Structure 1
Amino acid sequence: MTAILSMLPPDWREGTFLGRLDLGEGPVPVLLAGGTVHDMSGAAPTVADLVDLGAFDPAQGSVLGSAEDVLARAALLSPVDLQCIKAAGVTFAVSALERVIEERARGDADQAQAVRGGLEERIGGSIRSVVPGSAEAAALKAALIEDGMWSQYLEVAIGPDAEIFTKSPVLSTVGSGAVIGVRSDSDWNNPEPEIVILSDRHGKAVGAALGNDVNLRDFEGRSALLLGKAKDNNASCSIGPFVRLFDAGYTMAEIENAKVLLRIEGPEGFLLEGESRMAEISRPPLDLLRQAFSEHQYPDGIVLFLGTLFAPTQDRDTQGRGFTHKVGDVVTISSERLGTLVNTVATSRDAPAWETGISALYRNLAARGLIGGRA
Structure 2
Amino acid sequence: MHLARFQTAADAPPQVGLSNGEGGIVALGTAGDGLTLSDLLHADDPAGRVAACPSGETFALADVRLLPPVERQEVWAAGVTYKRSQVARMSESEAAADHYDRVYTAARPEIFFKSTAGRVVADGEPIRVRSDSRWTVPEPELTLLVAPDGRIVGYAVGDDVSARDIEGENPLYLPQAKTYDGSCALGSTVLLAEGPLDLPATTITLTIERDGATAYEDRTDLSQMKRSLEELVAWLTKEYSIPDGAALMTGTGLVPPDQFTLEQGDVVTIKIAGVGTLRNPVTRG
Whole-Å separation in 2 of the counterparts to 1:83 and 1:43: 21
Measure, in 2, the Cα distance between the counterparts of 1:42 and 1:255. 39
TM-score, normalising length: structure 2 = 0.90
**Residues 345 and 189 of structure 1, relative CA distance in 2, 3 Å threshold:** same
What runs of 5+ residues in structure 2 fail to find an aligned partner? none
The 1:290/1:256 distance shift into structure 2, 3 A limit, reads farther
Counterpart selection for 2:73 from 74, 80, 83: 83
1:236 aligns with 2:183: yes
Matches within 5 A, 1:258-337: 258-267=202-211, 269=213, 271-313=215-257, 322-337=259-274
- Aligned partners of 1:151 and 1:27: how far apart in 2? 49
Larger Rg belongs to: 1
Mapped partners of 1:323, 1:74: distance in 2: 35
Q: What TM-score do the two structures reach when normalised by structure 1?
A: 0.69
Match of 1:38 in 2: 27
Secondary structure of 1:167's match? strand
Amino acid at match of 1:278: L
Change in Cα spacing, 1:59 to 1:330, as seen in structure 2 (3 Å) is same
Alignment correspondent of 2:43 = 53
Structure 2 CA distance for aligned equivalents of residues 169 and 184 of structure 1: 21
- Counterpart for residue 115 of structure 1: none
Contact 2:140 2:252 survives alignment (8 Å): yes
Partners of 2:242 and 2:98 in 1: how far apart? 31
Which range is displaced more, 183-192 or 23-32?
Answer: 23-32
8 Å contact from structure 1 (residues 42, 61) kept in 2: no
The code of the aligned residue for 1:161 comes to R
CA distance in 2, matches of 1:79, 1:267: 30
| More divergent stretch after superposition (191-200 vs 266-275) | 266-275
Cα root mean square deviation, aligned: 2.1
1:64 aligns with one of 57, 61, 66: 57
Task: Name the SS for the 2:93 alignment partner.
Answer: helix
CA distance in 2, matches of 1:47, 1:271: 36
Higher strand share: 2
Q: How do 1:1-375 residues align onto structure 2 when only pairs under 5 Å count?
A: 16-24=1-9, 25-35=11-21, 36-40=25-29, 44-54=34-44, 56-65=49-58, 69-104=59-94, 151-247=98-194, 251-255=195-199, 257-267=201-211, 269=213, 271-313=215-257, 322-347=259-284, 349=285
**Contact 1:19/1:31 (<8 A) preserved:** yes
Question: By how many angstroms is 1:256 displaced?
Answer: 6.1
* Larger helix percent: 1
Amino-acid identity (%) = 35
Structure 1, unmatched stretches of 5+, are: 1-15, 107-149, 314-320, 350-375
